[in-house]
């Protein structure tokens, strides 16, 4: 459970990124956050794992109050339950896929094992299982720089699964991918969500991907939530309210919007 109670975020430069956010997110939901660049989408998901601090209100994630007192060992323990996926994949390109996935287990290892890369058998099995779940097991011993963009994002997702998270936060995970590859990667996110009951919260640049894969959509305009409800209820009038304009080709990845007119 994730609960925002009247949460606000103001950056040191005076920019008010979020205003009076009230949200409840239950375990196992698949949520897409949509809106213009600068609307507050990235800020919202980065508050959840305390990459940024809230300015006002209260944020509770899985019974933990996420505020200034959460730091050090407790913060590291808290973050182990939250996976983060970035547009840029964040892989170590000169090492193998399996070692990239095993990096998720470092937080559970002693300094000695970490220093020598002495992973336990169960950690290796967990990493290989994650790769198998995403259909990329055959690439386990390839170097990451030999992969396509879609394969790299799958490895990043496998690394996150190996972390055993309850929540996955994704910051524009398919923005740099072509339509076919993006569809494959979003299907992987949906599979992880449904089969492993992991909450997925994705900040989405392309509206059609958001509406096709997410069950719930949160629309943000100028730091305020202007829509929160089923993706099936989203129509063109609502999208115009979220974006403050008609959608452009840049807002849509595929040739046609995946929605009823």
23 or 257, greater pLDDT: 23
Q: Give residue 88's pLDDT band: very low, low, confident or very high (50, 70, 90).
A: confident
Determine which of 4-8, 23-27, 55-59, 70-74 has the lowest per-residue pLDDT on average: 70-74
251 or 259, greater pLDDT: 251
Radius of gyration of the chain (CA): 19
By CB atoms closer than 10 A (0-12, 13-18, 19+), residue 180 is exposed
C-alpha–C-alpha distance, residues 171 and 75, integer Å: 21
Judged against a pLDDT cut of 80, whether residue 117 lies above it is answered with no
C-alpha–C-alpha distance, residues 100 and 92, integer Å: 6
pLDDT over 90 percentage in the chain = 81
Specify whether domain 2-81+165-251 bears CATH 2.60.40.10. Answer: no
Judged against a pLDDT cut of 90, whether residue 53 lies above it is answered with yes
pLDDT at 104: 84
| pTM of the model as a whole | 0.90
Work out the average pLDDT over 93-109.
83
Residues 6+ apart with CB under 8 A from 90: 156
pLDDT at 33: 98
Question: DSSP code of 142?
Answer: S
C-alpha–C-alpha distance, residues 104 and 101, integer Å: 6
pLDDT at 108: 60
Polymer length of the chain: 261
Work out the average pLDDT over 231-253.
93
C-alpha–C-alpha distance, residues 45 and 52, integer Å: 9
35 or 89, greater pLDDT: 35
Work out the average pLDDT over 140-163.
94
Phi, psi at residue 106, to the nearest 5°?
-60, -40
Task: Dig out the tokens for 26 from the structure.
Answer: 């239950």
Q: Domain locations in the chain? A: 2-81+165-251
Determine which of 115-124, 181-190, 195-204 has the lowest per-residue pLDDT on average: 115-124
């Amino acid at each position: 459970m994730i609960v925002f109670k009247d949460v606000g975020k103001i950056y040191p430069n005076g920019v008010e990124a979020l205003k009076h956010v009230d949200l409840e997110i239950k375990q196992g939901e698949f949520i897409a956050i949509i809106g213009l660049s600068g609307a507050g989408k990235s800020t919202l998901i980065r508050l959840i794992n305390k990459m940024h601090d809230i300015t006002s209100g209260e944020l509770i994630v899985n019974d933990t109050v996420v505020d200034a007192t959460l730091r050090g060992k407790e913060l590291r323990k808290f973050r182990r339950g939250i996976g983060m996926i970035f547009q840029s994949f964040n892989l170590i390109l000169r090492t193998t896929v399996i070692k990239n996935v095993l990096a998720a287990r470092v937080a559970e290892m002693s300094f000695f094992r970490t220093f020598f890369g002495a992973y336990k058998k169960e950690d290796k099995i967990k990493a290989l299982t994650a790769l198998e779940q995403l259909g990329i097991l055959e690439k386990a011993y390839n170097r990451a720089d030999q992969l396509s963009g879609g394969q790299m994002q799958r490895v990043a997702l496998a690394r996150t699964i190996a972390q055993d998270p309850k929540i996955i936060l994704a910051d524009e995970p398919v923005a740099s991918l072509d339509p076919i590859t993006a569809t494959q990667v979003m299907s992987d996110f949906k599979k992880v969500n449904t089969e492993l009951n992991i909450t997925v919260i994705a900040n989405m640049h392309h509206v059609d991907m958001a509406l096709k894969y997410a069950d719930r959509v949160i629309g943000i305009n100028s730091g305020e939530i202007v829509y929160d409800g089923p993706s099936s209820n989203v129509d063109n009038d609502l999208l115009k309210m979220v974006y403050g304009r008609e959608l452009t080709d840049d807002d849509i990845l595929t040739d046609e919007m995946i929605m009823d007119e």
